[in-house]
Chains A and B, each alone.
Chain A
Amino acid sequence: MTEIVRDRIDVALTVNGEPVEARVPAGQHLIDFLRLELGLTGAHASCEHGVCGACTIRVDGDAVRGCLMLAAQADGAEVWTVEGLTDTGEIADLQAAFVARNALQCGFCTPGMLVAAQELLARGGAPSRGEIREHLSGNYCRCTGYEAIVDAVEAVAMARAGAAAQEGGGGA
């Protein structure tokens, strides 16, 4: 164990659209690399066990647990955190809905929750409340009781589906 921790590995990846090159301890988890080395403290570590979803980030298009993946495994990957998704405006409507609906209290779960919700929303269509609850059932929130989160995600899904229909529908 000790030896593995001491080993260092060179990685090159993009994080939030910017190139990153680093020499990381072989045993360092991606969430710790992002938080400690890059100062990206938006995603949080909570269970460090893959259970709670607080560390959820996007790696090569998928929502993944930053506490289960090693930084070394992210070599060559494209990583997005809530900070980057904020800068690009990709989840601006979802963030606005979370604020309007008060779908966060302490906000500790929120960055992970947003990445997980955006993964579902990106599939398009209008998921049912049950589907939203199912999709978010790996993201733990101790404050809200989830209903406001489901409301916010549902509202964004409907708004995006409506916008897509209008775009696609043209004059029909």
Chain B
Amino acid sequence: MTIAFGNPDRPNSYIGKTVPRPNAPRLVQGRGRFVDDITLPRMAHVAFVRSPYAHARIGGIDAAAAKAVKGVLRVFTGADIAEVCTPWVAVLAHLKGLKSPPQHALATDRATWVGEPVAAVLATTRAAAEEAASLVEVAYEALPVVTDMMSALDETTPVIHPDLGDNLAFRRLHDEGDVEGAFAGAHAVVSARFRTARHTGVTLEPRSILVDWNPAEGQLVAWHATQAPHMMQTVLAKHLALPESRVRVICGDVGGSYGIKVHVYPDEVATAAIAKIMGRPVKFVADRLESFTTDIHARDHIVDARLAVDEAGRILAFDVDDWTAIGPYSVYPRTSAIEGNQVVNLCGGPYDFANYRARTTVVFQNKTPTCQYRAVGHPIAVAITEGLVDMAAAELGMDPVEIRRRNLYADDAYPATSPAKMRFEGLSHHASLDKLVALMDYDALRADQAAARKRGVHRGIGIASFIELTNPSPFMYGIGGARISAQDGCTVRMDPDGSVVALSGVTEQGQGTEAMLAQIVAEGVGVSPSEVRVVTGDTQVTPYGGGTWASRGAGIGGEAALQAARALRDSILEVAAAMLQSEPGRLDIRAGAVVDPDTGEERLSLAELGRIVYFRGDTLPKGLPRELVQTRHFITSEYPFAFTNGVQASYLEVDVETGVVTLLKHWCVEDCGRIVNPQLVDEQIRGGIVQGLGGALYEEIHYDEEGQLLNGSMADYLVPMAAETPDMIVGHVETPTKESLLGAKGAGEAGTAGAPAAVMNAINDALRPLGAQVTEMPFTPERILRALGAIED
């Protein structure tokens, strides 16, 4: 099939255009329906009693005072929940050696991080549940705490889970070519220790779930703020011993996810278990402290890395030693080894070089569990790679743009396989870099920088090329044994009035999934996007799918929608041809009507066709198929992952007296393949960039040595606010994937992947004449002043 997406004058040309989001008017009017907005008859509220210790044995639980609070219905211990809910073990077979102990919804004998749920109180109001939870007396016996990452494997460090033998969760070494030889023969070697801080997602809507078990129907319904409703259906069914067919997960409006809401959380499973025990609806909405101590954390890495180059600045070898600590459990079911694994997969990603060694060491500790968060592993790998490349350029006296030009994969080098064994179908590093240099007017910016320097103002330019992994195949989770779908489906049907309904397995968290699907279906069928209603987020209604993560909404869900829409078009034309005594090939559908493709003349409106098919089927030929509904599922099969690429630049000013960094401007040119909706893509990039800027400048979860989280509030864990955020210029190169008709690769994470490295390089560009360098994020005023030697102790 050929659809000339590149031709803006084609009929029904909605793909590639900015089309408004159908759900936006609802949200600006305050008519959203988030989980906490839902109230059901007999609904009760659960609040959790959480461990104040990072590691402690749980003794007796005295709930007498809690039970005395008016409105309290029941208090549950770990043992109570374990009677109806089995524990889980978060390992994947293809991540060899990954280990993790069984985890219960409520801790049974030991608490292993501050915030782990150990008991639950159910009450008729949230206020009563919270008050009573504070009155539950748990006898804790403190146990030795492991907080430090680098000493977690030392002989003298206590082992958190004695049954596992040590604190090592996972280790992987990838060794390609002759790394030692390359370093021995190098013209120059640069090295550094990089550190990315522990982050969390801080979704504005806290984690939320409302579960109703209806014993009369034998059905469990969960209204859940999640990115993966079908995965949650499977998980709830399995651990509550229900048939999958008797669990329905509904995902309405979700107030931000970024990867936070794609995991299985013990308190949410406990909520479902309690609903099942009580036979009535139970709601759990995390408060903000709970969000900080129990939403997954991420990015806590220390990396020693070095880079060898020849005298022309050609990259000879990367050598990377990555360490990360993931808390006491690998998180179910995606596991907490993926982030470190991604660092191994992605370092050096944009560059054509031969010798590569990377090792990741993933250890247990007594802090909040970490897992996949927007751009999983990418910000770390990009910071390491791009930091070293800039250091090499400085060492050689070479311009940062020039050293990249000499090493990026040529735009005609594809297909290519990286030394990390990642397979690239088609990328556009040089075209993207050229576009970026033009967009930012690189030479003029250098001149401005030099002029500022003369005034004693220290400005810096930072560049960061990157690749981004999207559209995962079953190689990501499925081959490891997890029931996480890499395929996705879409059902498209025409109703009697000629309007179209699309049911999709991918979900909406604000990216604009529903708008993207509406315009694809509109183009595929031949109707206006306003004639398409999109339904997502209901396991009982939509085709089975993986949901929304790894930037797969457009690439996988969009392709399924396009194929289903095209199939529906064919069905409609078959009926139309019979009605018009024509042939399907001599008819087209445009703007909701069957037309003559040459003249555009209307032959039959879809509403009239619908009237005949649904109400006067007697007038149609016998045996004519009347199914005005089609379903298609899509999965990638040629490549384990799609890759996108891009390059970002930051221009900023460092106040060397105060250490404060002011972001002046930010640029990103990226190649997400086919762009379905330019505005939505640009805003995904911008939002992603700002999350990356947060990691570069502000965000860091602090713990003390006892494993107490020190900054668990929005006032203390800083994220970018409107006043500090720069304007961002976004440009595109389009290299569609050939794996699909649509050609979309995904755009949700590119911004976050590259922004921290661009900022780091810009700060170091500003500081270099002063002999200072920073590689430990976030780049707080204190760290910058230390690098400058202005603070010493």
Contacts and interface: CB of A to CB of B under 8 A. Distances in A.
B701 to A, nearest CB: 16
Contacts of A44: 34, 36, 204-205, 255
Interface string B540-554: 000000000000000
A106 B510 contact: yes
B131 interface: yes
Contacts of A109: 204
B684 to A, nearest CB: 8
A47 B29 contact: no
B679 interface: yes
Given A47-B713, A51-B713, A81-B30, A144 B686 contact: yes
Nearest to B685: A145
A87 B287 CA distance: 31
B374 to A, nearest CB: 10
Contacts of B691: 142, 145
Interface in B705-747: 713-715, 719-723, 725, 727-728
Interface string A17-33: 00000000101100000
A72 to B, nearest CB: 15
A133 B727 CA distance: 11
Contact of B723 (A95, A100, A110, A134): A134
A79 interface: no
A99 B205 contact: no
Interface in B654-702: 679-680, 683, 686-691
Contact of A49 (B30, B131, B714, B719): B714
B256 interface: yes
B224 to A, nearest CB: 15
28 contacts: A42-B31, A46-B205, A46-B206, A46-B714, A47-B714, A54-B204, A99-B24, A100-B20, A102-B21, A102-B24, A105-B509, A106-B205, A106-B254, A107-B255, A108-B255, A129-B727, A133-B725, A136-B723, A137-B722, A140-B714, A140-B719, A141-B204, A141-B722, A142-B201, A143-B204, A146-B720, A147-B727, A149-B722
Interface in B222-260: 253-258
A149 B686 CA distance: 12
B32 A102 contact: no
A143 B687 contact: yes
B512 interface: yes
B721 A102 contact: no
A10 to B, nearest CB: 19
B40 interface: no
6 tightest Cβ-Cβ pairs between the two chains A and B: A42-B30, A107-B27, A108-B255, A105-B510, A106-B510, A145-B690
Contacts of A129: 727
Interface of A is mostly: loop
B568 interface: no
Interface string B297-313: 00000000000000000
B205 A104 contact: no
Contact of A5 (B25, B33, B131): B131
Interface string B30-57: 1111101100000000000000000000
Given A99-B24, A111-B30, A104 B714 contact: no
A106 B256 contact: yes
A144 B683 contact: yes
Contacts of A40: 30
B288 interface: yes
A104 B253 CA distance: 13
A137 B721 CA distance: 6
B510 A147 contact: no
Interface of A: 2, 5, 25, 27-28, 35, 40-49, 51-52, 54, 81-83, 86, 95, 98-100, 102, 104-111, 114, 129, 132-134, 136-150
Given A105-B687, A149-B722, A98 B28 contact: yes
Interface of B: 20-21, 23-34, 36-37, 127, 131, 201-206, 253-258, 287-288, 509-512, 679-680, 683, 686-691, 713-715, 719-723, 725, 727-728, 751
A128 to B, nearest CB: 12
Contacts of B20: 99-100
A133 B51 CA distance: 40
B288 A145 contact: no
Contacts of B257: 106
Given A52-B204, A142-B258, A146-B722, A47 B288 contact: yes
Nearest to A27: B127
Contacts of B723: 133-134, 136-137
A54 B204 CA distance: 8
A82 B30 CA distance: 6
Given A144-B686, A145-B690, 18 more contacts: A43-B30, A44-B255, A47-B715, A52-B204, A54-B204, A99-B25, A100-B20, A105-B683, A106-B204, A106-B254, A107-B27, A108-B204, A108-B205, A137-B721, A137-B723, A143-B687, A148-B683, A149-B722
A91 B23 CA distance: 18
A105 B511 contact: yes
| Among A5, A136, A141, A150, residue most surrounded by chain B Cβ atoms (within 10 Å) | A141
A81 B31 CA distance: 12
Nearest to B69: A2
A145 B28 contact: no
Nearest to B689: A145
Contacts of B751: 145
A44 B27 CA distance: 12
B30 A142 contact: no
Contacts of B205: 44, 46, 106, 108
A99 B255 contact: no
Contacts of A104: 24, 27-28, 510
| Among A44, A51, A133, A142, residue most surrounded by chain B Cβ atoms (within 10 Å) | A142
Given A95-B28, A95-B29, A102-B679, A144 B687 contact: yes
Given A44-B204, A145-B689, A108 B288 contact: no
B237 to A, nearest CB: 28
Contacts of A35: 36-37
Contacts of B686: 144-145, 147-148
A150 B721 CA distance: 12
A147 B30 contact: no
Contacts of A145: 683, 686-691, 720, 725, 728, 751
A151 to B, nearest CB: 9
Contacts of A137: 721-723
B28 A2 contact: no
B721 A107 contact: no
B29 A86 contact: yes
A98 B510 contact: no
A110 B256 contact: no
Contact of B29 (A27, A43, A82): A82
Contact of A136 (B127, B688, B715, B722): B722
Contacts of A132: 722
A110 B204 CA distance: 11
Contact of A102 (B31, B203, B683, B690): B683
Contacts of B206: 46
| Among A25, A44, A81, A86, residue most surrounded by chain B Cβ atoms (within 10 Å) | A44
A52 B27 contact: no
Given A5-B131, A133-B722, A41 B30 contact: yes
A144 B27 CA distance: 14
Contacts of A114: 28
Contacts of B253: 106-107
B133 to A, nearest CB: 14
A27 to B, nearest CB: 8
A42 B253 CA distance: 12
Contacts of A107: 23-24, 26-28, 32, 253, 255, 510
B21 A99 contact: yes
A39 B205 CA distance: 18
A142 B203 contact: yes
Contacts of A142: 201-204, 256, 258, 687, 691, 719
A36 to B, nearest CB: 8
